[in-house]
Amino acid sequence: MKLLTAIPVYNEEKHLESVLTEVRRYSPNVLVINDGSSDGTSTLLAKQRGIAVITHPQNRGYGAALSSAFSYALDNQVEVLVTMDCDGQHEPSRISVLMEAIHDADIVSGSRYLRDFRQDSLPPADRQRINHIITAELNQTLGLELTDAFCGFKAYRRDALQRLHITEAGWGMPLQLWVQAACAGLRIKEVGVPRIYLDPNRAFGGVLNDEEQRLAYYRGVITEALMKARSKVSMESPHCLCSMLAQSESCR
């Protein structure tokens, strides 16, 4: 089974080399998406051997970086794509946990709230609050049983990637993904991963630093994804799950 681990990177010179060294122990194929970094990330990547690199000349956003990873995986006959962050939050040793779990799932998502680990750290209060709110709203709307809507540590089967059409370029990309996955009837599983925050003061940037504007943005992503789902399937199959979800009160 061909495995690829993809890592979106934006100004991660502090963690890049140590993360890549560890990832190579658990994944034979590694892709880095350098999303317009302006620090020393590009210089460090130029010294790496045996990894693939996609470079966005300008910063396009987290969702855009993962969309590039999805396209690369499909173009290169990857059977399972693992995605993880480069800020030290995700332990590469748990790639094997994702791989074990995907034998009967289409998407396996790490969850920082599914169980406790000895190395857990306290999450920033605003992130935990918004995560809990959005996760609960997604579950109610989509009939899912998620505990962590935002964890970027995931594994995808190739068939799942072929059924996802990600257009959300920003931090709200996972929410569009969950709507599409639910509409497509994909099998979703969560596995527990440690909750590690090496830099709890790290900011999103711009208006998303404001909690209420961030919450409004996330809800807007969900609403737009549901509206697109409704438009896409209303004439083709009005009784399918996707159509029924798209007509829920949350998108009116």
Do residues 59 and 43 touch, judged by C-beta distance below 8 A? no
pLDDT of 247? 52
What pLDDT tens digit does each residue of the chain (252 aa) get?
A: 899 999 999 999 999 999 999 999 999 999 999 999 999 999 999 999 999 999 999 999 999 999 999 999 999 999 999 999 999 899 999 999 999 999 999 999 999 999 999 999 998 999 999 999 999 999 999 999 999 999 999 999 999 999 999 999 999 999 999 999 999 999 999 999 999 987 777 778 888 999 999 999 999 999 999 999 887 755 454 445 555 554 554 433
- Count CA atoms within 13 Å of residue 249 on its CB side: 2
Beta strands in the chain (DSSP E): 3-9, 30-35, 52-56, 80-83, 107-111, 154-157, 188-192
Number of CB atoms found within 10 A of residue 215's CB: 16
Measured CA to CA in angstroms, residue 246 lies from 26, 100, 123, 186, 231 at distances of 39, 33, 32, 16, 8
Residues 6+ apart with CB under 8 A from 12: 19, 37, 39, 41, 86, 87
Q: Is 115 left (phi over 0), alpha (psi -120 to 50) or beta?
A: beta
**Helix 211-233 vs helix 125-142: angle between axes, to the nearest 10 degrees?**
20
Instruction: Sketch the domain layout of the chain as residue ranges.
Output: 3-205
The whole model's pTM is what?
0.91
Pick the CATH number of 3-205 from 1.25.40.10, 3.90.550.10, 3.40.50.300, 3.10.20.90: 3.90.550.10
- Predicted pLDDT of residue 58: 97
pLDDT of amino acid 206: 86
Do 249 and 230 form a contact (C-beta atoms < 8 A)?
A: no
* H or E element in which residue 96 lies: helix 95-101
pLDDT of residue 201: 73
Residue 150, SS3? coil
